[in-house]
A = this chain, B = another copy of it.
């Protein structure tokens, strides 16, 4: 089967480029001085028994970060970024992630803590490894690259051949070809991406550098014969899938491997829990294990290198050649040789490297690949002429120029962590999503929920925890609420009718379908405090407030303004007091917020203009809902508001004087959010919870006008008026308020959706 011609004949070039990727990245947690931390795996990461993203590898300090399988390199990067954000914000403030594969400062054998796992078999396995390989060897970290051609592509290929009538057997054959060619050419990856260049006596169990290691920098200790490899008497055949299963099972039987997973090949077949299952299921994907951490990359590997590895795999399938058993052995040796080479020297196999890279570029041109891919391949091609362009070459150059790699690595680690802490209200990789969904994703990753982003632009997720599945949209639209309850809240009139009927204090309001009818009733309102507003708009548009009655002229005008927004308007009694937002989850008020219109407070020195600028520098303030608070704009409305108070932008308010730039208190127009959860009298919080229940709501935001938040509400003197109930209420302004304590509402939503999560958390605390 000539895959190349099948692809070209059927115009499957685009399909050929599609694949599924997943990365596992190991990383040591270190202290500021570069030593490995002795602290435990953070309890916030939940249960390692099933955590899909954050595990520990051999050592307690050795994090293993796992992305789910996704359809593009871009998505892998997003997941790596997100998981790293979670890790960086969860580990103790004085810990960092080491960017190197080998610990810069290797602890003594006794000081290496094996991961504290729950399951006895997991602990025993690690104890066995420590005994056979020594603990130090297990401290090496790297990247595992899981790769799968797209099902559609393999199915298409399958339809064009006669040799296999079984799709699984065909698929296995494809992965055999990739594996065989990989074994032959893996040295190229070690040449380009090897990055464990230092050899130190402390790395070895006997604190002595073996004699056959050159006494200089090398390309990769981890990919060398002193890397993560089995003893010489472990022989597993890659000839056929049956032979593979037989030989690996024999190794275990003979006690040469304690378990199949101890087989440390640079490539492993995946498709089942053990080799025999792969025989049944076929190989469904491959795991490549020879990648050192790239210390220049934020997350251990760059998108470009991931992309390059993909192109390399494509090429190994594209070429007619299928490496023979002798070739594998040859490739193996070439790889070991490459690993020991001087990073700044030209490869001994330069010609083959240039030839293969040129082949990749040729293939890319034949399939009309994007210029980005071609550029990546050309860059790698150049590295065969200029070894200083390889990862090991770059590191060696730095060292040659007097750079202390440990110092550089720690600085790099600290910078990466700082970046992750800069905007704690976002989740790297998912910054296109709504902030509340980003925070929910953060909590879900942290606690080990299995996440499926069902529709990204629609903020639609599914979360699974211990076989319990729930769907969530926009951060808090869930199965906890009924269908009818948000429909009730969407309709102001219905909401009020229900609240009033249930005995809550609701401002009286009248509904009008035309201005004539409304104006007829003018005499009813003439001397009252009242509000005229459209029935169903939500953004403060078309609302007029009259605190001390109105003239008929102004009444009529306000009615007309309201009718511009809706075909029905409400004239409503104005309730005295201050407006607070009560966030109710279940029957409980979880957060109370006061919103204050955009303002600055004078210091007797700076102008209003300067004060606004200073306030806008707060990292919590941004634009277009990409931050919990919005910057204060100096637009028409703000200028008018200042003018009404007799201010100009150049005025210098006296110390302590607050100048308002808006009348409305919306956070979206630069207002401040101030947490009042612990200040407001309990009675109001209970009321908000009860009101939500009357509306059948589980998650809602109740807006109440309160005369004095310190004085309890009683039946005789309710002291409040409820003015609105909101479904899918904003969470960010409570989580990151301008002032006061943040309330992690996303976590409250998760605990109500998954009550068993709290049970586990409690268990963990007891265990601790």
Name A's B-contacting residues (CB within 8 A): 10-12, 14-15, 152, 156, 452, 454-455, 457-458, 460, 462, 471-473, 477-488, 491, 493-494, 497-498, 520-524, 568, 696, 727
- What is the oligomeric copy number? 2
- Once A471-B484, A477-B484 are accepted as A-B contacts, the answer to whether A523 and B12 lie under 8 Å apart by CB is yes
A521 adjacent to B455 (CB under 8 Å):
no
Which of chain B's residues have a CB closer than 8 A to the CB of A11?
A: 522-523
The complex places the Cα of A727 from the Cα of B498 at a distance, in Å, of 25
Which of chain B's residues have a CB closer than 8 A to the CB of A493?
A: 454-455
Of chain B, the residue at the smallest CB distance from A460 is: B494
- Once A455-B494, A471-B696, A696-B479 are accepted as A-B contacts, the answer to whether A520 and B14 lie under 8 Å apart by CB is yes
Which of chain B's residues have a CB closer than 8 A to the CB of A485?
A: 479, 483
A15 adjacent to B521 (CB under 8 Å):
yes
- Once A471-B696, A482-B482 are accepted as A-B contacts, the answer to whether A524 and B488 lie under 8 Å apart by CB is no
A-B contact pairs, 11 of them (CB 8 A): A12-B523, A14-B520, A455-B494, A460-B487, A460-B494, A462-B498, A477-B483, A478-B484, A480-B483, A481-B483, A483-B727
* A713, chain B: closest CB distance, angstroms: 24
Interface-central residue, A458, A493, A497, by most chain B CB under 10 Å: A458
Main SS of chain A's interface residues? Answer: mixed
Which of chain B's residues have a CB closer than 8 A to the CB of A568?
A: 457
Which of chain B's residues have a CB closer than 8 A to the CB of A454?
A: 491, 493-494, 497-498
Which of chain B's residues have a CB closer than 8 A to the CB of A521?
A: 14-15
Which of chain B's residues have a CB closer than 8 A to the CB of A156?
A: 524
The complex places the Cα of A472 from the Cα of B11 at a distance, in Å, of 54
B479 adjacent to A483 (CB under 8 Å):
yes
Known: A11-B523, A477-B484, A478-B484. 8 other contacts (CB 8 A): A14-B520, A14-B521, A14-B523, A152-B524, A460-B488, A471-B696, A478-B483, A479-B484
The complex places the Cα of A524 from the Cα of B15 at a distance, in Å, of 8
Which of chain B's residues have a CB closer than 8 A to the CB of A460?
A: 487-488, 491, 494
The complex places the Cα of A455 from the Cα of B12 at a distance, in Å, of 57
B481 adjacent to A482 (CB under 8 Å):
yes
Q: What are the 6 A-B residue pairs with the smallest beta carbon separation, nearest first?
A: A481-B483, A479-B482, A11-B523, A454-B494, A14-B520, A471-B484
Of chain B, the residue at the smallest CB distance from A520 is: B14
Of chain B, the residue at the smallest CB distance from A478 is: B484
Of chain B, the residue at the smallest CB distance from A496 is: B454
* A537, chain B: closest CB distance, angstroms: 15
* A22, chain B: closest CB distance, angstroms: 19
Which of chain B's residues have a CB closer than 8 A to the CB of A483?
A: 477-483, 485-486, 727
* A459, chain B: closest CB distance, angstroms: 10
A487 adjacent to B494 (CB under 8 Å):
no
Which of chain B's residues have a CB closer than 8 A to the CB of A478?
A: 482-484
Which of chain B's residues have a CB closer than 8 A to the CB of A452?
A: 497
* A519, chain B: closest CB distance, angstroms: 10
Which of chain B's residues have a CB closer than 8 A to the CB of A488?
A: 460, 471
The complex places the Cα of A372 from the Cα of B156 at a distance, in Å, of 78
* A695, chain B: closest CB distance, angstroms: 9
A458 adjacent to B494 (CB under 8 Å):
yes
The complex places the Cα of A479 from the Cα of B479 at a distance, in Å, of 11
Of chain B, the residue at the smallest CB distance from A152 is: B524
Interface-central residue, A15, A156, A488, A568, by most chain B CB under 10 Å: A488
Which of chain B's residues have a CB closer than 8 A to the CB of A481?
A: 482-484
Of chain B, the residue at the smallest CB distance from A486 is: B483
The complex places the Cα of A455 from the Cα of B488 at a distance, in Å, of 10
- Once A454-B493, A460-B494, A491-B460 are accepted as A-B contacts, the answer to whether A523 and B484 lie under 8 Å apart by CB is no
Which of chain B's residues have a CB closer than 8 A to the CB of A482?
A: 478-483
* A650, chain B: closest CB distance, angstroms: 45
Of chain B, the residue at the smallest CB distance from A368 is: B520
Which of chain B's residues have a CB closer than 8 A to the CB of A520?
A: 14
Of chain B, the residue at the smallest CB distance from A17 is: B520
The complex places the Cα of A493 from the Cα of B482 at a distance, in Å, of 22
The complex places the Cα of A683 from the Cα of B478 at a distance, in Å, of 31
Which of chain B's residues have a CB closer than 8 A to the CB of A458?
A: 491, 494
The complex places the Cα of A498 from the Cα of B488 at a distance, in Å, of 28
The complex places the Cα of A458 from the Cα of B476 at a distance, in Å, of 25
Which of chain B's residues have a CB closer than 8 A to the CB of A487?
A: 460, 471, 473, 477
The complex places the Cα of A762 from the Cα of B732 at a distance, in Å, of 52
Which of chain B's residues have a CB closer than 8 A to the CB of A14?
A: 520-521, 523
The complex places the Cα of A460 from the Cα of B497 at a distance, in Å, of 12
The complex places the Cα of A105 from the Cα of B477 at a distance, in Å, of 64
Of chain B, the residue at the smallest CB distance from A483 is: B481
The complex places the Cα of A142 from the Cα of B477 at a distance, in Å, of 54
- Once A458-B494, A482-B479 are accepted as A-B contacts, the answer to whether A523 and B10 lie under 8 Å apart by CB is yes
The complex places the Cα of A522 from the Cα of B10 at a distance, in Å, of 11
Of chain B, the residue at the smallest CB distance from A492 is: B455
* A483, chain B: closest CB distance, angstroms: 4
A15 adjacent to B494 (CB under 8 Å):
no
Interface-central residue, A10, A479, A487, by most chain B CB under 10 Å: A487
Which of chain B's residues have a CB closer than 8 A to the CB of A480?
A: 482-483
* A701, chain B: closest CB distance, angstroms: 15
Of chain B, the residue at the smallest CB distance from A15 is: B524
* A386, chain B: closest CB distance, angstroms: 35
Of chain B, the residue at the smallest CB distance from A452 is: B497
The complex places the Cα of A498 from the Cα of B455 at a distance, in Å, of 12
Interface-central residue, A156, A473, A480, A568, by most chain B CB under 10 Å: A473
* A671, chain B: closest CB distance, angstroms: 28
The complex places the Cα of A472 from the Cα of B482 at a distance, in Å, of 12
The complex places the Cα of A396 from the Cα of B457 at a distance, in Å, of 76
The complex places the Cα of A80 from the Cα of B452 at a distance, in Å, of 55
Of chain B, the residue at the smallest CB distance from A471 is: B484
- Once A454-B493, A524-B15 are accepted as A-B contacts, the answer to whether A473 and B477 lie under 8 Å apart by CB is no
The complex places the Cα of A12 from the Cα of B156 at a distance, in Å, of 81
Which of chain B's residues have a CB closer than 8 A to the CB of A696?
A: 471, 479
* A629, chain B: closest CB distance, angstroms: 28
Which of chain B's residues have a CB closer than 8 A to the CB of A457?
A: 568
Which of chain B's residues have a CB closer than 8 A to the CB of A491?
A: 454-455, 458, 460
Of chain B, the residue at the smallest CB distance from A153 is: B524
- Once A458-B491, A497-B454 are accepted as A-B contacts, the answer to whether A15 and B523 lie under 8 Å apart by CB is yes
Interface-central residue, A477, A478, A523, A696, by most chain B CB under 10 Å: A523
